[in-house]
Amino acid sequence: MKIAVFSARSYDRAALTRAASQVPAAQVAFEFFEVHLESRTAVLAEGFDAVCAFVNDSLDATVLERLHGLGLRVVALRCAGYNNVDLGAAARLGLTVVRVPAYSPEAVAEHTVALILALNRKIYRAYNRVREGNFALDGLVGFDLHGKTVGLIGTGKIGAAVARILGPGFGCRLVACDPVPNEVCATLGVKYVRLPELFGQADVISLHSPLLPETLHLINRDALAQMKPGVMLINTSRGALIDTPAVIDALKTGQVGYLGLDVYEEETALFFEDRSSTVIPDDVFARLLTFPNVVVTGHQAFLTREALDRIAQTTLENLVGFFATGRCQNQVS
Ligand code: NAI
């Protein structure tokens, strides 16, 4: 089984190689390409049995048609989300797309809480001050999370893991909005409410719903106006859940008091590369970075050793299963 791995980084290489060494029967041969999968680079998949792609690879109709033309039958996503795949085109071409539906919800949940704490207790500012010998505490006042109301939009695997940390752990009051309420969350005391109620009650709002047509720009000007002044907004889900220019305006007026992002709508053109020697051409993103109460990480919430190993193992199981039976339980098309 020859697999072309796109957008491959050192940590992907290590985890996939480790996983392959534990499945000797599979006789897997990986070739790692650092480049993104896109129409220009799809040709690199020639001679391979499968491609392995990540969140920022493009799997639009053109790319899928090229892969199909090269004789490929399967695309293995080493991520949960598949909003970057044209599923209609995949179905039309008879291309199977498999994914890793769950690897470590805790990894993303813990990063979510890390953003909340970093912003609240201003850890990033304190770190820089102390390194410069500045031990003044002015401007570093935080708030007790204990007793505060946290609003979770989406209480699937990750939202529920956040609820477990913030409810029993920190003593937060939890309200949530999800068309499919989660029984585990109900046992944690999470109160399901309608979105306007959540906006009106929450001191911290954390997004954990997938990107769907109905969740695109869920956090828009109208939603922001319904929130408590000074609300903390956290997004570790998908960038396009937020209308970023609207949030920038809300940061300017203080309506949003803290913003923590691991994802950004236009992240494909920015994230996962070292751009420290180049000018950032995205003015909206550049404006975000000017606020003292904004912390951005570059889509790293999933990045733990445990999650990477789980992703690699499931990706391999998906491909072994597909080539053995022509089907796979983690198929999205
Ligand atoms: P999940 O499928 O277990 O849960 C998603 C939940 O959102 C479900 O309970 C669903 O009913 C709910 N939902 C759907 N539409 C909704 C709406 N309109 N309003 C409120 N809730 C809605 O997914 P999981 O594993 O919890 O992941 C959540 C999201 O986190 C993923 O879709 C993905 O975009 C993102 N993610 C981010 C990562 C990162 O590294 N930053 C890594 C992994 C996932």
Can 2-103+304-325 and 105-296 be said to share one CATH topology?
A: yes
**Alpha-carbon distance 284 to 261, whole Å?**
14
Angle at 72 between CA 69 and CA 74, to 5 degrees: 135
What CATH architecture is 105-296? 3-Layer(aba) Sandwich (3.40)
Percentage of residues of the chain with pLDDT beyond 70:
99
Work out the pLDDT band at 22, boundaries 50, 70, 90.
confident
Question: Do the beta carbons of residue 99 and residue 314 sit within 8 Å?
Answer: no
Question: Do the beta carbons of residue 247 and residue 279 sit within 8 Å?
Answer: no
**Ligand 1, residues 100, 162, 209, 214: which to mutate, most atoms within 8 A of Cβ?**
209
Q: Is the pLDDT of residue 329 over 90?
A: no
Sequence letter at residue 284: V
Nearest-atom number in ligand 1 for the CA of 302 is 40
124 C-alpha vs ligand 1 centroid, how far in Å?
A: 27
* Contact residues for 287 (Cβ-Cβ < 8 A; gap 6+): 248
Nearest-atom number in ligand 1 for the CA of 262 is 41
Which pLDDT score is estimated for 33? 98
Residues counted in the chain: 333
Q: Is the CB of 208 under 6 A from ligand 1?
A: yes
153 C-alpha vs ligand 1 centroid, how far in Å?
A: 9
Q: Which tokens go with 320? A: 């072994």
Q: How far apart are the first and last CA of the chain?
A: 21
Q: Is the CB of 198 under 6 A from ligand 1?
A: no
Mean pLDDT of the chain: 96
236 C-alpha vs ligand 1 centroid, how far in Å?
A: 10
Which pLDDT score is estimated for 26? 59
Nearest CA to ligand 1 atom 35: 237
Q: Where are the domains of the chain?
A: 2-103+304-325, 105-296
Is residue 92 annotated as a catalytic residue, yes or no?
Answer: no
Q: Is the pLDDT of residue 217 over 80?
A: yes
Question: Do the beta carbons of residue 225 and residue 247 sit within 8 Å?
Answer: no
Is residue 197 annotated as a catalytic residue, yes or no?
Answer: no
Task: Compute the average pLDDT of residues 199-222.
Answer: 97
What's phi and psi for 285, nearest 5 deg? -65, -45
**Alpha-carbon distance 54 to 76, whole Å?**
9
**Alpha-carbon distance 125 to 119, whole Å?**
9
Per DSSP, 36 falls in state P
Q: Is the CB of 108 under 6 A from ligand 1?
A: yes
Q: Is the CB of 214 under 6 A from ligand 1?
A: yes
Nearest CA to ligand 1 atom 32: 210
Task: Compute the average pLDDT of residues 308-319.
Answer: 95
Identify which of 232, 238, 299, 240 has the alpha carbon closest to the alpha carbon of residue 260. Answer: 232
Q: Is the pLDDT of residue 18 over 70?
A: yes
Other Cβ atoms within 10 Å of 88 Cβ, number:
11
Looking only at the bridges linking them, the beta strands covering 256-261 and 191-192 are unpaired
Which pLDDT score is estimated for 111? 98
Identify which of 77, 54, 56 has the alpha carbon closest to the alpha carbon of residue 322. Answer: 77
**Alpha-carbon distance 18 to 158, whole Å?**
26
Residue reference for tokens 């109709």: 61
pLDDT digits (tens, 9 = 90+) for 103-117: 999 999 999 999 999
Nearest CA to ligand 1 atom 30: 237
Task: Compute the average pLDDT of residues 78-100.
Answer: 95
pLDDT digits (tens, 9 = 90+) for 23-33: 765 588 999 99
Is residue 238 annotated as a catalytic residue, yes or no?
Answer: yes
Q: Which fold has domain 2-103+304-325?
A: Rossmann fold (3.40.50)
Q: Is the pLDDT of residue 289 over 70?
A: yes
* Contact residues for 203 (Cβ-Cβ < 8 A; gap 6+): 143, 148, 149, 150, 228, 231, 232
**Alpha-carbon distance 298 to 291, whole Å?**
17
Task: Compute the average pLDDT of residues 256-265.
Answer: 98
Q: Is the CB of 157 under 6 A from ligand 1?
A: yes
Task: Compute the average pLDDT of residues 131-160.
Answer: 98
Which pLDDT score is estimated for 24? 67
Across 84-226, the runs of DSSP E, i.e. the strands, are 96-98, 149-153, 173-177, 191-192, 204-207
277 C-alpha vs ligand 1 centroid, how far in Å?
A: 34
Which pLDDT score is estimated for 25? 59
